[in-house]
């Protein structure tokens, strides 16, 4: 009987009209690229990265930028990827950026498909988080820094969105040596031999480049490579985009304008650009030269891969994200070294966190890897930031200094954003931490296991969408060097990331939703600053704003440094967003032509408070090797604040000088 029914059904199906073919999604992608100025507070604001309250801003070595890329497929799915020249992205920044994008574009850009990452420069102003720990050394929240960061990121996305046009994305992969070393070699060596074998010389040399084109014309480059933003040292007071910013500058400057080059991070937790003494010193004794050396290495290799890129990304675009409370993740044995189930802990920092890293050492209180209890730090932690006994036990063998996750509200974030995105045959995994190379590799492998047969390329983008310290493997964690002591959620932090990201990858593969059971808290009560704002600017007796105190010499050869000092106002009065504090001008007939601004790396703007409201601006221009001979001058644009609070612009101009062949 069943055979008869089957036969009848087959006949009926044959007689029915064929269904219309499914509408195919339009082929190809739309791509766009954009850039936004995020420079803020060039004077008297704490810098973020080295955790030194004495490291405050005092001028510009370079402006800071946010660079955005938008990729959309024919089915209406899209991804927006942003890399910003800051130390790390904070949850407050992510929330506000998404809020402003929602006001502009509705549900086009959400926490599912927007990625905000940081280059991890340690020479940018801080104070743009709502979490207490990260605002301690900057002496609180800095509203102008927060606003400049958010607004610049949004402008970059706006520009990328507005510039969307049919195009292609090509991918190329290679290796770069000589641009990083492992600054935490002992913990690396604690990993199993199979893990270590994946990284000869204990470094991650992998580089991935995405080439963006419209109608065959290149419009952008997105690079991924692991090296810290610490070429500029903790003694620097000039805002600098560090080595990755210099790499971006080289590519963009050579393009002649309109091209966007972004240099993003991967698992750089133990990767240092300081090639001598295990990460303690740069390749030379000059931090500016070190920045150029490591930046140029990245730029040159990226350009080589970019020029040779032929593989076109094609296929669906998809994105999945979820917020996870990392204070209590139950981790299955499949993701732990001993095959047993474990759990993460409320956030805490160990005593060895205070030792700092090789390229940013802390005070001489404890040494990395010292597992003995320091009574001074124990008492200090108990007084300032008490930690329950259960958390101390959970965090073992970490000797807890600060129980940041046990406070109300917590001093560091606990609810973390995780993402897996697909762009054709590329999987882009994002996480809010500094992964060591082995920790990052384990996460990559966990995600790859879920996406086998779906993608053939994978990138892990760290420092993404929020920040919760380092991520070490359990084996590295046990040694409690700086990175392990700064792994917030205990011994199984890396295992939890691998498990949770693998789950998101599986959902993306299967077309399932990834709803979040938790959301990051809003902490507006923590937006407090103890730094006074600008009160008054005043010129010295007998001078006016813009007066030249040090004039240039009569002439300079190429390669020389031209210096001019001006009477100025406080630069925080006006950030000159998308503008400049200075111009180097060359005479062209009866007109003056601008040949350099503070956006170029050949200029340096130094600010100094002389006394009370009197301050000076020192502008230095290194004459390029290809500078045209002729007559030049340097112009300074400043702003001064009066007792009434009024801010008025002024301009100062040096006498002319010549550049000789």
On whether both 496 and 638 belong to a single domain, the answer is: no
On whether both 510 and 565 belong to a single domain, the answer is: no
pLDDT above 60 for 19: no
On whether both 89 and 233 belong to a single domain, the answer is: yes
Indicate whether 157 belongs to any domain: yes
DSSP 3-state assignment of 354?
Answer: helix
Closest C-alpha to 342, from 329, 357, 354, 355: 329
Tens-place pLDDT, residues 604-650: 999 999 999 999 999 999 999 999 999 999 999 999 999 999 999 99
- Chain-centroid distance of CA 337 in Å reads 30
Annotated catalytic, 272?
Answer: yes
Cα–Cα distance, 442 to 444 (Å, whole number)? 5
Tens-place pLDDT, residues 496-517: 999 999 999 999 999 999 999 9
Indicate whether 598 belongs to any domain: yes
**Whole-number pLDDT of residue 361:** 78
Tens-place pLDDT, residues 71-127: 999 999 999 999 999 999 999 999 999 999 999 999 999 999 999 999 999 999 999
Interval 583-609 mean pLDDT: 97
Indicate whether 170 belongs to any domain: yes
**Whole-number pLDDT of residue 26:** 43
pLDDT averaged over every residue in the chain: 93
Who has greater pLDDT, 22 or 403?
Answer: 403
Indicate whether 566 belongs to any domain: yes
Cα–Cα distance, 483 to 476 (Å, whole number)? 8
Tens-place pLDDT, residues 507-565: 999 999 999 999 999 999 999 988 888 999 999 999 999 999 999 999 999 999 999 99
**Whole-number pLDDT of residue 8:** 31
Please give the tally of structural domains in the chain: 2
pLDDT above 80 for 437: yes
pLDDT band at 359 (very low <50, low <70, confident <90, very high): confident
Indicate whether 590 belongs to any domain: yes
On whether both 314 and 220 belong to a single domain, the answer is: yes
On whether both 652 and 518 belong to a single domain, the answer is: no
Indicate whether 656 belongs to any domain: yes
Tens-place pLDDT, residues 144-186: 999 999 999 999 999 999 999 999 999 999 999 999 999 999 9
On whether both 293 and 424 belong to a single domain, the answer is: yes
pLDDT > 90 fraction of the chain, expressed in percent and rounded:
89
**Whole-number pLDDT of residue 224:** 98
Question: Tokens in use for 119?
Answer: 């280059």
On whether both 517 and 567 belong to a single domain, the answer is: no
Tell me which residue range forms the domain holding 440: 29-323+413-524
On whether both 496 and 556 belong to a single domain, the answer is: no
Helix (H) or strand (E) holding 255: helix 242-255
Of 524, 559, 574, the position where a domain reaches its end is 524
On whether both 85 and 205 belong to a single domain, the answer is: yes
All residues at 6 or more sequence positions from 528 whose CB lies less than 8 Å from its CB, including other chains = 140, 141
On whether both 70 and 182 belong to a single domain, the answer is: yes
pLDDT above 50 for 223: yes
pLDDT band at 378 (very low <50, low <70, confident <90, very high): low
Radius of gyration of the chain (CA): 26
Domain harbouring 574, CATH code: 2.60.40.2300
On whether both 207 and 274 belong to a single domain, the answer is: yes
Indicate whether 386 belongs to any domain: no
Of 524, 559, 575, the position where a domain reaches its end is 524
On whether both 452 and 555 belong to a single domain, the answer is: no
The tally of CA atoms less than 13 A away on the side-chain side of residue 375 is 0
Q: What is the DSSP letter of 28?
A: S
Kindly name the residue from 123, 231, 272, 406 that is annotated as catalytic.
Answer: 272
Indicate whether 344 belongs to any domain: no
């Amino acid at each position: 009987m069943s055979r008869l029914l089957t036969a009848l059904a087959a006949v009926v199906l044959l007689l029915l009209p064929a269904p219309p073919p499914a509408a195919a999604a339009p082929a190809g992608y739309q791509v766009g690229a954009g850039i936004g100025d995020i420079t803020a507070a060039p004077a008297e604001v704490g810098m973020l990265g080295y955790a030194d309250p004495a490291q405050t801003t005092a001028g510009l070595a370079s402006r800071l930028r946010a660079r955005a890329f938008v990729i959309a497929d024919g089915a209406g799915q899209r991804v927006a990827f942003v890399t910003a020249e800051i130390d790390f992205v904070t949850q407050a920044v992510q929330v506000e950026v998404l809020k402003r994008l929602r006001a502009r574009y509705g549900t086009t850009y959400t926490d599912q498909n927007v990625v905000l990452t940081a280059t991890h420069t340690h020479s940018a102003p801080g104070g743009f988080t709502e979490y207490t720990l990260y605002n301690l050394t900057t002496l609180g929240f800095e509203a102008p820094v927060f606003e400049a960061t958010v607004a610049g990121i949004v402008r970059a996305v706006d520009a990328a969105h507005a510039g969307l046009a049919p195009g292609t994305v090509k991918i190329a992969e290679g290796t770069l040596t000589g641009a990083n070393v492992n600054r935490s070699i002992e913990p690396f060596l604690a990993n199993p031999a199979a893990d270590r074998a994946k990284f000869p010389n204990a470094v991650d040399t992998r580089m991935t480049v995405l080439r963006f084109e419209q109608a065959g014309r290149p419009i952008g480059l997105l690079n991924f490579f692991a090296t810290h933003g610490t070429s500029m040292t903790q003694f620097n007071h000039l805002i600098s985009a560090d080595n990755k910013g210099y790499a971006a500058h080289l590519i963009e400057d050579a393009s002649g304008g309109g091209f966007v080059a972004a240099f993003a991070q991967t698992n750089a937790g133990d990767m240092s650009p300081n090639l001598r003494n295990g990460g303690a010193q740069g390749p030379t004794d000059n931090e500016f030269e070190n920045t150029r050396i490591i930046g140029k290495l990245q730029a040159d290799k990226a350009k080589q891969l970019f020029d040779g890129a032929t593989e076109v990304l094609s296929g669906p675009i998809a994105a999945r994200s979820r917020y996870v409370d990392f204070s209590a993740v139950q981790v299955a044995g499949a993701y732990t070294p001993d095959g047993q189930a474990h759990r993460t802990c409320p956030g805490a920092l160990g005593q060895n966190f205070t030792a700092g890293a090789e390229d940013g050492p802390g005070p001489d209180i404890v040494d990395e890897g010292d597992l003995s209890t320091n009574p001074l730090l124990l008492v200090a932690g108990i007084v300032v930031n008490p930690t329950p006994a259960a958390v101390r036990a959970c965090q073992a063998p970490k000797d807890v200094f600060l129980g940041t996750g046990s406070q109300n509200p917590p001093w560091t974030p606990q609810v973390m954003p995780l993402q897996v995105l697909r762009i054709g045959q590329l999987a882009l995994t994002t996480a809010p931490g500094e992964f060591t190379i082995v920790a990052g590799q384990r996460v990559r492998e966990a995600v790859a296991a879920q996406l086998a047969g779906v993608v053939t390329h994978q990138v892990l983008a760290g420092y993404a969408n929020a920040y919760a310290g380092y991520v070490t493997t359990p084996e590295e964690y046990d040694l409690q060097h700086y990175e392990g002591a700064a792994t917030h959620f205990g011994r199984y932090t890396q295992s939890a990331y691998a498990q949770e990201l693998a789950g998101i990858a599986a959902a993306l593969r299967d077309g399932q939703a990834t709803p979040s059971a938790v959301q990051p808290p809003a902490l507006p009560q923590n937006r407090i600053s103890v730094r006074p704002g600008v009160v008054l600017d005043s010129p010295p007796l007998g001078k006016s704003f813009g007066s030249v105190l040090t004039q240039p010499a009569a002439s300079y050869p190429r390669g020389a440094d031209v210096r001019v000092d001006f009477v100025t106002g406080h630069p925080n009065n006006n950030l000159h967003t998308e503008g400049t504090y200075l111009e180097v001008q060359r005479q062209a007939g009866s007109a003056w032509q601008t040949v350099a601004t503070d956006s170029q790396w050949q200029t340096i703007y130094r600010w100094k408070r002389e006394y009370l409201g009197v301050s000076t601006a020192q502008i230095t221009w290194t004459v390029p090797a290809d500078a045209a001979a002729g007559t030049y001058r340097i112009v300074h644009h400043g702003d001064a604040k009066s007792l009434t609070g009024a801010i008025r612009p002024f301009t100062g101009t040096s006498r002319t000088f010549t550049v000789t062949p």
